[in-house]
Structure 1
Amino acid sequence: MTPHKLCMIPGPIEFSEDVLQAMSTPATSHVDPNFVPIFGESIEMVRKVVLSETAQPFIVSGSCTLGWDMMVNLLEQGDEVLALNTGYFGDHFSECLEVYGAKITTLRAEVGSRPSNAALKEALGQKKYKMVTVTHVDTSTGVLSDIKAIAQTVKSISPETLVVVDGVCSVGSEEIRFDSWGLDIIISGSQKGLGVPPGLSIVVASQQAINVYKTRTTPAISYYSNWNKWLPIMQAYESRKPAYFATPAVQLIYALHTSLKKITSEPMEVRFEKHQQVASKFRQTVRDLGLKTVAQCEECSANGMTAVWLPEGIEIPQLVPALAKKGVQIAGGILNGLAGKYFRIGHMGISVTEPERGHIDKVVETLSESLKELGYKA
């Protein structure tokens, strides 16, 4: 690979040589007999990544944010939604759903924490919700939500309520067991744990969610994100038949296919464990440097990224360029009112699964050196 500055933000992440080579596939028709099975197999492998047998994946050209918009297929005017909020992206997910007529009730926690199960039970006892939404890993804070426990609680109290998970920063790096945990929606994209350049929106829907869509009483007020358009396309390609609604991003799907083949070549449990081990070790390194993570506890800390409070006297406009000069790109914060007080580092994909590349070691080395150069004493 051409030497370049390591992209160690919480997404886009570093891409493998094979993925980049797949991106250079020559111009190919989206109904070419060679492409049709590539798309079909990609749909099937997405299902394997989230450990589902029956869910319906959608792979559509667009930003991860398109996945939020796809919830228009499940919402009707005035539907009640309970939003579990752990940061910036929880706020904006709710903002998106309000556009489609949802009435949002928000459960918040202090920065670095997550709403309690007791608060969830109390909220579920007060009214009937069409869906409960949760950001699995909020990229703004690095807080990991316990979606297994959330789904169990929701389904035990209100089996009809859909459990909708924003998994943009978790699919491919965090443990997700779609079927056995009773999830209904996972929203993700190509550029984080799946290790593919940005440009693909990936949504996985349970059969319960598909049935809710099929039995809605009013038309979905969308065109491009409408499942009435996309469901036949996904089903056709998985059946190895060409179909057309809107042109897919052919080269990106070739890249996704390449990455998914590698990811699914070993049990997902192995991948989960690798990310957990690297993340745990990285958090310990942060603590050894005398720094504190934004996530307040180990069990609520993400395995694909870490947000770290800046030490006193050091600012983002100093630290980020300092690492960049040493060949490592990290990210500042994005929480309203706190953006300048912390930084974020991603540890996903090949940076974790292929330690021989030395990505994490280089991050640790350059972070330590840069802090010292800026006058920080642990």
Structure 2
Amino acid sequence: MPRQILRANASNPASRVSIISQHLAGVPPASTLTPSNSNSLSSIHARSLSSSPTFNMSSQPDHPTLLIPGPIEFDDAVLQSMSHYSESHVGPGFVATFGETLSMLRKLFQTTSPSSQPFVISGSGTLGWDLVAANLVEPGEDVLVLSTGYFSDGFADCLRLYGANVDIVKAPVGSRPQLPEIESALKSKKYKMVTVTHVDTSTGVLSELQKLSETVKSVSPDTLLIVDGVCSVAGEEIDFDAWKLDGVVTASQKAIGCPAGLSISMFSGKAMDAFKARKSQPGSYFASMKNWTPIMQNYEAKKPSYFATPSPQLVHALHTALSLILAKPLSERFAKHKEVSDKIKKTVTDLGLKQVAGNPEDQAHGMTAVYLPESIKATDLLPKLANSGVIFAGGIHKEIASKYIRFGHMGVSVTDPARGDINKALAALENGLTACGYQKA
């Protein structure tokens, strides 16, 4: 399908739900975690898997290794911090923890600008779409969505629901829109916002951000550049200030390495000014920046505040996850994800398989989407992988859903090689293909 700009059509939500649920086929239920109680971060770290050279010292029950593009495997320390005793969400202990968490997010996103505003709100990564659509765009304003797959299109659906006029620059499956066509679209009309999915989880396609930002700022300097970083933050480099990004939305359960349940985002001073200048009220009550901004600012200043109840246990887990991430230079973390990704992609190639993202420059470093041989179905292979103790995900892109599988490799499975997660997965993949009758040509 040629690249084109098109007016987004209404989608079928039921169809999208059906597609995304297919990856669950043949996967046994995960074990229930019952972590030991601990209130001391230092004692948690002492028992942490990441500080231990052997997997059997983990406090987690035996379970299949989860290598889907999120949720991912979690460090023991993160899970154990979830067992923090109950406390008031406006008490001094939690307020201090939440404030530190918000400040650490500035380091993760690489922003030192005092006008940048972090948000941590109970909800999934999808809540980030609502936060953008309800606050930064008013009904009737034009938005340009750069589509690389299922989740890019989902963002367009959300924006349209809030009344935005959505145009899409759509790339063929497995690739991304190119700068010349994006520049042409930006010259065709005045867009309030451009959205880009940094890593579209449905295809494993990685979008380039730095040159994209330069193009947007050059052609249409008033246009906001918003990044869906749900499957990229903490696994792919994002330099918020240097790249002049206006917003990045993400979630807790992917490369950040915290259980699902937190919508995490960062917005520039320019984006916050755009919100303040809107003529109509935000389109959502719960996802309103008007309601949440003073809460976040108060928490970061270590002042108790209330709009809606946060999850103290999840915030403790996020605090621990960020502490582990920031204990080493971010550059090392990004390099490690690239190193492991290169190893996985080489193995995939050596097995005679192809990736959905065909161009190496378009390939994400936290996941790999792999086309299956024509003779093998995902519903045959995935159960065999599960029987080997490894969980991969099936395909969800509607045009190719039955033809590929997805291998998530981010967070502790990458940064702690002593776990053996990646080697175990690669061996399981090769053995599973063989058991399905596959022979490399």
The bucket for the TM-score relative to the shorter chain is over 0.9
Cα distance in 1 for partners of 2:78, 2:288 equals 29
Amino acid corresponding to residue 58 of structure 1 in structure 2: F
Amino acid corresponding to residue 80 of structure 2 in structure 1: Q
1:1-378 correspondence runs (5 A): 1-54=60-113, 55-71=116-132, 72-378=134-440
Cα distance in 2 for partners of 1:281, 1:119 equals 33
Cα distance in 1 for partners of 2:341, 2:348 equals 10
Amino acid corresponding to residue 261 of structure 1 in structure 2: S
Amino acid corresponding to residue 376 of structure 1 in structure 2: Y
> What is the deviation of 1:215?
1.0
Cα distance in 1 for partners of 2:311, 2:362 equals 35
Q: Secondary structure at the match of 2:226?
A: strand
Amino acid corresponding to residue 312 of structure 1 in structure 2: E
Root-mean-square deviation (CA, aligned residues, Å) is 0.7
Instruction: After superposition, give the CA deviation of every residue in 1:273-296 in whole Å (9 maximum; x if it has no partner).
Output: 110111011101100000001001
Instruction: After superposition, give the CA deviation of every residue in 1:138-157 in whole Å (9 maximum; x if it has no partner).
Output: 00000000011111100011
Cα distance in 1 for partners of 2:100, 2:330 equals 17
Cα distance in 1 for partners of 2:108, 2:425 equals 28
Mean alpha-carbon deviation: is it higher for 216-225 or for 135-144? Answer: 216-225
> What is the deviation of 1:337?
3.1
Cα distance in 2 for partners of 1:325, 1:281 equals 24
> What is the deviation of 1:32?
1.6
Give the number of aligned pairs. Answer: 378
- Give ranges in structure 1 of 5+ residues lacking alignment: none
Q: Secondary structure at the match of 2:105?
A: helix
Amino acid corresponding to residue 84 of structure 1 in structure 2: L
Q: Secondary structure at the match of 1:43?
A: helix
Q: Secondary structure at the match of 1:30?
A: coil
Task: Give TM-score scaled by structure 2 length.
Answer: 0.85
Instruction: After superposition, give the CA deviation of every residue in 1:204-237 in whole Å (9 maximum; x if it has no partner).
Output: 1000000000111111121000011100110001
Amino acid corresponding to residue 278 of structure 2 in structure 1: R
Aligned residue in 1 for 2:48: none
> What is the deviation of 1:203?
1.2
Cα distance in 1 for partners of 2:399, 2:301 equals 50
Instruction: After superposition, give the CA deviation of every residue in 1:48-97 in whole Å (9 maximum; x if it has no partner).
Output: 11111122110000011000000111111111001100000011100000
Cα distance in 1 for partners of 2:61, 2:195 equals 41
Amino acid corresponding to residue 303 of structure 2 in structure 1: K
Cα distance in 2 for partners of 1:321, 1:225 equals 39
Cα distance in 2 for partners of 1:101, 1:111 equals 27
Task: Give TM-score scaled by structure 1 length.
Answer: 0.99
Instruction: After superposition, give the CA deviation of every residue in 1:81-132 in whole Å (9 maximum; x if it has no partner).
Output: 0110000001110000001111011001111000111101111111110000
Q: Secondary structure at the match of 1:181?
A: coil
Cα distance in 1 for partners of 2:94, 2:223 equals 38
Cα distance in 1 for partners of 2:399, 2:162 equals 28
Cα distance in 2 for partners of 1:125, 1:34 equals 51
- Give ranges in structure 2 of 5+ residues lacking alignment: 1-59
Flag as ranges the 4+ runs of structure 1 deviating above 6 A.
none
Cα distance in 2 for partners of 1:281, 1:370 equals 19
Cα distance in 2 for partners of 1:232, 1:188 equals 20
Cα distance in 2 for partners of 1:303, 1:337 equals 23
